[in-house]
Amino acid sequence: MNQARKLLLMSTPVGALGTGQGGGVELTVQNIAQELQQRGHQLEVVAPLGSCLKDVRVKEIAGNFQVAVQTQSKDVPITIPRNSTLGNMWQYARQVQTQYDLLVNFAFDWLPFYLTPFFATPIAHFISMGSMTHALDEIMEWTAKLHPDRIGVYTKSQAETFAFAESCEILSSAIDLSLYNFCATPGKSIAWLGRIAPEKALEDAVAAANITKVPLKIYGKIQDREYWQQIQQDFPTAPIEYMGFLNTESLQQELGQARALLMTPRWIEAFGNVAIEALACGVPVIAYRRGGPSEIVRDGITGFLVEPDSIPGLVTAIESIDSLSRIACRQQAETEYSLPALGDRFEVWFDKILTAH
């Protein structure tokens, strides 16, 4: 192990951990906290009231949530509600900062970047999405200029959405492989998994299911109810079934039964934790060749990369999916996306920051 550190992990302020409101960063916070603690680092996670994490100490903070920025336009100004969870979280961080070597920010929000030079304890920023709004781009770029070593991202495609791509530490993602069982023989359905919101373009997966008549099971938090209703109206006879938002234990059991996972993001997906969860179960991934999934899927081996926004492309891929080896999928997850590998990358990053500090 590297030198043991005292770390304060600042979670997303858009919702409590475990609710799905924060998307993939919830799983990332759980995984990185668990792995770093297991390596002997002392840590606490600061997160909204009601958050639950497995085997990790959480300081719960009350207040009103931030609005998820991906629902807003490029020009949207920064807003902070009264009695803000984000503000309260950073108030707490200010009070306890001297007890820690490093603060790690997981919020895709303006305030933690702005506060960076005002804190005595260094703050590392893990950015969980690509470029979203001008105001955020600006503060992130300003922070990257001030501290070029303190910005971490999931993937190269994500980093390239920012002007400060060169300063980004590429950290990728990982899952606790022991929680995901390999399933050699799938059922008849394919799966779609994630937040039900326009940037995820679930309608493309539904359109492909409607053409192929292969049943599609949908899992995840309904973030935008109108959008979900519109999809149901547009495809009244599509063979789809909404299965709810499941915890990891139930999700992996269900997911393993799928012939494939469809990933149809309209935006530049920063990573796509659902891709590596599928691979860990032995499920090949059919994804648009765009953003994070295009760096994960090995085209023709552990899935298919399809021309972005092409429904015929999805259809062809679905029709060829059973030719792929499910064992190869699990193997890729084991070799590239294990928690120890992620822990190594984060430790190297933290050491660089603390040495420079």
Question: Is 329 a binder of ligand UDP (CB under 6 A)?
Answer: no
Q: Which residues contact 20 (CB under 8 A, 6 or more apart)?
A: 26, 195, 220, 221, 245
217 lies in the binding site for ligand UDP (CB under 6 A) = no
Query: What are 315-322's contacts with CB under 8 Å, separation 24+?
Result: 315/208, 315/211, 315/212, 317/260, 317/286, 318/190, 318/208, 318/212, 318/214, 318/260, 318/262, 318/286, 319/212, 321/190, 321/259, 321/260, 321/284, 321/286, 322/259
Q: Does 5 bind ligand UDP (CB under 6 A)?
A: no
CA distance 3 to 22: 31
Q: Is the distance from CB of 159 to CB of 16 less than 8 angstroms?
A: no
- Minimum CB distance to ligand UDP, residue 27 (Å): 4
Q: Residue 101 or residue 277: which is nearer to ligand UDP going by CB? A: 277
Phi, psi values for residue 261, rounded to 5° = -105, 135
Alpha carbon 23 to chain centroid distance? Answer: 6
In whole angstroms, the minimum distance from the beta carbon of 356 to ligand UDP comes to: 29
With respect to ligand UDP, which residue has the nearer C-beta, 44 or 269? 269
290 lines the binding site for ligand UDP (CB under 6 A) = no
- CB closest to ligand UDP, residue no: 24
Choose the binding region for ligand UDP from 71-79, 88-96, 244-252, 308-316 (rule: CB under 6 A): 244-252
From the list 194, 282, 293, 313, which residue makes contact with ligand UDP (rule: CB under 6 A)? 194
Q: Is 26 helix (H, G, I), strand (E, B) or coil?
A: helix
Q: Determine the interface stretch with ligand UDP among 91-99, 183-191, 246-254, 330-338 (rule: CB under 6 A).
A: 246-254
Give bridge partners of residue 124 from the DSSP assignment.
Answer: 104
- Our finding on whether 24 is near ligand UDP (CB under 6 A) is yes
Instruction: In angstroms, give the least distance from the CB of 321 to ligand UDP.
Output: 19
User: Three-state SS for 336?
Assistant: helix
Binding of ligand UDP at residue 284 (CB under 6 A)?
no
We find the least distance from the C-beta atom of residue 222 to ligand UDP, in angstroms, to be 10
Give the binding site for ligand UDP (CB under 6 A). 20, 23-25, 27, 193-195, 219-220, 245-246, 248, 251, 271-274, 277
